[in-house]
Structure 1
């Protein structure tokens, strides 16, 4: 059987950088990128070419930020894809390696963030499950002091990105992956959950705000309808560019209307 020819378009470092500039990415800005390599087409150089294209568009004074989540450092009792036998849970909790910003791989966010994580000079924040990695002059400021009991709230890089006037680039990714919407969840009444994970001194449990990306596609649709979002293409991918602060402010109002009230969290229906 013959090997099928690759499907295009052909994407290179230079063509990607040019399309990002055309979209409106500015030299010197701070950019939070959510991405899908497969959506771009046939990329000559794969994720390395994409990262270089992003850095070219941002220039030496710009800062690139990506999510480098490691949700697999979690309680095996909650695993569903796939689940593991209950008799394994105790051993898994006892032997799971603790989070290490240098060696713990990202998971579930794609190959481009993992490429940024391992890039020379990249810095990564300290949260064991919802870290961010950054490259550029503001990287240290952005990833510093990510509280280990604040996944995506006021003591996370998201709040710093908001204060710095960062923008969000969805590069072939949908609004369901838009992490900045989670910052709004910390600003509306939300339930608390107990989160288990490996710690430096063994298995630990912390109390956290419950977060979910459920209905983020719907939220993103309404945000794009009501607020200025720059839309274009990069390779074969649809790209969207918008201010992070605008998205967080809109999401907060939207969640207040579409999420249950605090009283309903305390007194769920029978």
Structure 2
């Protein structure tokens, strides 16, 4: 689509009916289980904001479909608090509120939509404090149930269940580097030098606040050292996603004024695992 078309499509407010039409043209359909990432500013002026976006997505997938977002926890204790002076640590351990799926805000770095969806009537949020997801719709409870405490991006995670459900991933004006599902590929890939993190966070167990240690791939800095195969300053997921598109995986189009992408979850993970193992020297 050329620049003049993009400018024409960006004129005027982005309304719920317009979003519905654009999403359907992109290929989203009734009954879809879709994890979405949104950059609101890229869509243009959305009349009604997140409420309009979630409403339009719900209109398209219908009652038999499901919407899913990545949340995290905005006010989680910092990973490095264990390096603080002991008296600071003691104070934090004594008084930091536990993660509460109903009350704890989604990470603001993920934009406005995850917080809006996790507060939506009927939404279900997973129990993991650092890697929580939320879902709304027919498959929400199945996707979110018993999120593994350790390896929360790996087998039996909400991401794994998205794949098993024949789910899809929608980048709604969001950049290619926001393709969170590739963390599941990192968790599965058999490549050398996989990086892990351990950290402590408070959770509720039987109504009591308990500090628990968690173990996961390093999803913040990357589970692997991609520097030999990815240009400096570029998040590797962008490179993998562009290679996917070049291989004919995923579709691209405009939603509102925002360049958007729709992928099949199973194809993303399969391509991601193969890419990581080939580029980084792993695999059987």
**Scaled by the length of structure 1, what TM-score is found?**
0.86
Q: Does 1:207 align with 2:215?
A: yes
| 1:86 CA displacement | 9.1
Q: Which residue of 26, 30, 33 corresponds with 1:23?
A: 26
Q: How does 1:132-211 map to 2 (within 5 A)?
A: 132-188=133-189, 189=191, 190-200=194-204, 201-211=209-219
Could you say which residue in structure 1 is the equivalent of 2:70? 67
Q: Deviations over 1:136-178 (max 9, x none)?
A: 1111111112112122111211101101110110001122211
In structure 2, how many angstroms separate the alpha carbons of the residues matched to 1:53 and 1:89? 45
Gaps of 5+ in 1: 1-6, 263-270
Q: Does 1:91 align with 2:91?
A: yes
Could you say which residue in structure 2 is the equivalent of 1:54? 57
Could you say which residue in structure 1 is the equivalent of 2:106? 106
Q: How many residues align?
A: 252
Moved over 4 A (4+): 84-90
Q: From the superposition, tell whether residues 50 and 204 of structure 1 become closer, same or farther in structure 2 (CA, over 3 Å).
A: same
Gaps of 5+ in 2: 1-9, 223-234
Could you say which residue in structure 2 is the equivalent of 1:245? 266
Could you say which residue in structure 2 is the equivalent of 1:38? 41
RMSD, matched Cα: 2.3
| 1:203 CA displacement | 3.1
- What secondary structure does 1:99 align onto? coil
Q: Deviations over 1:1-59 (max 9, x none)?
A: xxxxxx95410111101110111101111111011111111111111011101101111
Structure 1 window deviating more from structure 2 (171-180 vs 252-261): it is 252-261
In structure 2, how many angstroms separate the alpha carbons of the residues matched to 1:171 and 1:187? 26
Could you say which residue in structure 2 is the equivalent of 1:128? 129
Could you say which residue in structure 1 is the equivalent of 2:252? 231
**Scaled by the length of structure 2, what TM-score is found?**
0.82
In structure 1, how many angstroms separate the alpha carbons of the residues matched to 2:200 and 2:281? 25
